[in-house]
Structure 1
Amino acid sequence: MSSHWTLKNKTALITGGTKGIGLATVKEFIELQAQVCVVARSEESLQQQISFWKQKGICVHGICADISLKCERDKIKKEIQNLWTHLDILINNVATNIRKDTCSYSDEEYQHIQETNLTSIWDLLRSLHPHLKQSSSSSIINVSSVASLKYIGSGIVYSMTKAALDQLTRYLSVEWAKDNIRVNSVLPWYTRTPLAKPVLDNPKRLQKILERTPLARIAEPEEVARTIAFLAMPASSYVTGTSICVDGGFSNVGLQ
């Protein structure tokens, strides 16, 4: 295998790595021979996954932390500093959503979505910047959403956080280029994950989604994970500040 298409010996921190797109990304990175550390809120699910990989002879590190809490994010920073001398790859994948009409959100719900989807990433990026800078060429991939570009009827607060995340991606790609840190984002459309399940289980909503998707199917988490892996590889060494839609063509649809 060409050295441009591997993650061999690269250190990678992946948040929300026990389900959905995060889990698929962990599996992809393991196959590409990266050293992986998984962050998950549930101790039970984290230990189950760690044990599963251990039985297969695969060493994966784990940190149990609720990324929406400042004290827990501080724990992640300390754990990574103890684990590795530098960090090559950071995948900001954790997100949450509450689907409501705009005027129905409580202040607490608004704050929780903001803290989980945006503030947590802002905080991790700044605290881990020195560790990323220690790498000769590091890569940050933020998992955004096509909700940052289009109305998809899935809650304004979620969409706001994802739009801000895309701008953060563009800004840091310029500011941190001097530190040999690339910053990109991927924008999935509806993907077969636990977060999307309530929507996909609604037959009318599913039909509407498929009608607006040129490829006429729902994405699998592995398809998003492969795009994330590409952005982490040396093969994408000249790609930064880019937001890649992984949406089956949805973002290109106008009137049909």
Structure 2
Amino acid sequence: MALAHLSDAWRLTGRTALVTGASHGIGRAAARELAGFGADLLLVARDAAGLETTRQELAEAFPAIEVLALAADLVEAEDRLAVFDWITDLGFSPSILVNNAGGNQPRAALDYAPEELRAIFELNTFAAFEMCRLAHPFLATHGGAAIVNVGSVSGITHVRTGAAYGMSKAALHQLTRNLAVEWAADGIRVNAVAPWYIRTRRSALALADADYREEVLERTPLKRIGEPEEVAAAIAFLCLPAAAYVTGQVLAVDGGFLALGF
């Protein structure tokens, strides 16, 4: 492979990435990482104020790329359709989709109300599924399109996030595998990342408990909490041409948590 081709394998110049849950945490870090590789950005999140702050910061940091944003609640079918109407009106055709929007309501299994269980699945699984389906016509027009779903180690093994969250993320991992096989013929790779504890707003409350934090660190061989940028680096790799032979995978970004055992 020629050196020029090697260089191209590690660039996303000319590509457009649609990133959900982009206002904070892993989504924001992923958007910044993709921008660093040269991708134009289409950012979506429920938090309109946080989203606009992120858009402005990234536009200033990366003046050579387009950074556009739309506030939307992806649980709502109308909002999902509005996102793709917006993209069509802009004349963009994303070749990358990062499904990062998600949430949780931790409960004991017996304590979940039916509507709480449905809400977790609507956001973590069903919204991602529909975003993939709506994005498909755009992604299929490109060579080497990529979807990355943000799952969780809770979808692989038991952690203290509640059964509903683990179930929803396990379903997202399986969606990743199924679409990877089904859409390979369309030139679309589909992978996922599975983080352990990452330093975000969502994890801050649990990690503020010193005893709980110590338990987390004891189960983490690298003995520290992960950073959003470290998950973002894995997401970006899975979007790069350099990862062109990687599909259907769930990549743990966990400091060794899953490998530790007893």
Q: Which residue does 2:27 correspond to in 1?
A: 22
Q: Deviations over 1:12-69 (max 9, x none)?
A: 0000111100011111111111011100111111222223334443531101101111
What are the equivalent positions in structure 2 for 1:48-67 lying under 5 Å apart?
48-56=53-61, 57=63, 59-67=66-74
What are the equivalent positions in structure 2 for 1:79-98 lying under 5 Å apart?
79-98=86-105
Moved over 6 A (4+): none
Distance 2:96 2:165 in 1: 25
Q: Deviations over 1:48-104 (max 9, x none)?
A: 222333444353110110111111111112112223452210000011011110111
Corresponding pairs, count: 255
Q: Does 1:221 align with 2:228?
A: yes
> Counterpart of 1:17 in structure 2: which amino acid?
A
Distance 1:208 1:13 in 2: 36
- TM-score, normalization: structure 2? 0.94
Q: Secondary structure at the match of 2:139?
A: helix
Distance 1:83 1:239 in 2: 30
* Aligned with residue 37 of structure 1, among 18, 37, 42: 42
Paired residues of 1:141 and 1:232 also in contact (CA < 8 A): yes
Paired residues of 1:98 and 1:109 also in contact (CA < 8 A): yes
> Counterpart of 1:112 in structure 2: which amino acid?
A
> Counterpart of 2:254 in structure 1: which amino acid?
D
Q: Which moved more, 1:160-169 or 1:79-88?
A: 79-88
Distance 1:136 1:25 in 2: 22
* Aligned with residue 212 of structure 1, among 204, 219, 227: 219
- TM-score, normalization: structure 1? 0.96
Q: Which residue does 1:123 correspond to in 2?
A: 130
Distance 1:55 1:162 in 2: 34
Q: Percent identity?
A: 40
Distance 2:170 2:237 in 1: 22
Q: Which residue does 1:174 correspond to in 2?
A: 181
> Counterpart of 2:205 in structure 1: which amino acid?
P
Tell me, which stretches of 5 or more residues in structure 1 are unaligned?
A: none
Rate the CA distance shift 1:55–1:254 in 2: closer, same or farther, 3 A.
closer
Q: Which residue does 1:137 correspond to in 2?
A: 144
Q: Deviations over 1:110-148 (max 9, x none)?
A: 111111101101111111111110112200000000001
> Counterpart of 2:178 in structure 1: which amino acid?
Y
Paired residues of 1:87 and 1:134 also in contact (CA < 8 A): no
> Counterpart of 2:55 in structure 1: which amino acid?
I
Tell me, which stretches of 5 or more residues in structure 2 are unaligned?
A: 1-5
Paired residues of 2:28 and 2:54 also in contact (CA < 8 A): no
CA RMSD of aligned residues (A): 1.3
Q: Which residue does 2:259 correspond to in 1?
A: 252
> Counterpart of 2:154 in structure 1: which amino acid?
A
